[in-house]
Amino acid sequence: MLSIRKIGVIGRTYRHLNRYRQILTVFFKYGFGDLVDLLKIDQYIEIGLQMISRHRRERLERMTRAERVRLAMEELGPTYVKLGQVLSTRPDLIPVDFIHELAKLQDEVPPFPFEDVHRIITRELGDAPDAIFKHFDETPQASASIGQVHRAVLKDGDQVAVKVQRPGIRKTIEVDLEIMLHLATLMEHHIEEIAFYRPIRIVEEFAKTLERELDYTIESSHMERMAGHLLSDMTVYVPKVYRELTTPKVLTAEFIDGIKISETKQLEDAGLDRHEITRRGALILLRQVFEIGFFHGDPHPGNIFVLPENVICLLDFGMVGSVDRQTREDFVELVDAVVHRHEARTAQVLLKLTTWDEKPDMRSFEKDVADFMGRHLYRPLEEINFGRLLQHLLELASQNRLIIPPDIFLMMKTLAAVEGVARMLDPTFDIFATAAPFVKQVKIARFHPERLTDDFLRLSTELLEFLQQFPTELLDITRQMRQQKFALPVELKGLTAMLETHDQSSNRVSFAIIIAGLIIGSSIIVVANIPPLFYGISLIGIIVFITGAVMGLWLLVAIIKKGRL
Residue 335 in contact with residue 432, Cβ under 8 Å?
no
d(CA 180, CA 81): 13
The one-character DSSP state at 321 is E
Hey, is 344 helix, strand or coil?
A: helix
Residue 179 buriedness (CB in 10 A; 0-12 / 13-18 / 19+): buried
Residue 139 CB partners (closer than 8 Å, separation 6+): 150
CA distances from residue 537 to 319, 517, 524 in whole angstroms, order as listed? 91, 19, 12
d(CA 84, CA 102): 6
What is the amino acid identity at position 76? L
Residue 422 in contact with residue 285, Cβ under 8 Å?
no
Partnered with residue 153 across adjacent β-strands are: 135, 159
Dihedral in degrees, nearest 10, Cα atoms 194, 195, 197, 198: 140
DSSP codes, 171-182: HHHHHHHHHHHH
Residue 308 buriedness (CB in 10 A; 0-12 / 13-18 / 19+): exposed
Q: Is 298 a catalytic residue?
A: yes
Hey, is 149 helix, strand or coil?
A: strand
What is the amino acid identity at position 300? H
Element (H, E) at 22: helix 14-29
Partnered with residue 254 across adjacent β-strands are: 160
Phi then psi for residue 446, to 5 deg, are: -65, -25
Residue of 298, 330, 361, 371 with catalytic role: 298
Residue 169 CB partners (closer than 8 Å, separation 6+): 78, 145, 146, 147, 214
**How many residues make up the chain in this entry?**
565
What is the amino acid identity at position 547? T
DSSP codes, 365-412: HHHHHHHHHHHH-SS-GGGS-HHHHHHHHHHHHHHTT-B--HHHHHHH
Own/partner pairs, 111-119, CB within 8 angstroms, 24+ separation: 111/140, 111/143, 111/148, 112/143, 112/148, 112/166, 112/167, 114/138, 116/167, 117/148, 117/150, 117/164, 119/167
Q: Alpha helices of 403-448 — where are they, by DSSP H?
A: 406-425, 431-445
Neighbours of 427 (CB within 10 A): 7
Q: Give the active site residues.
A: 298
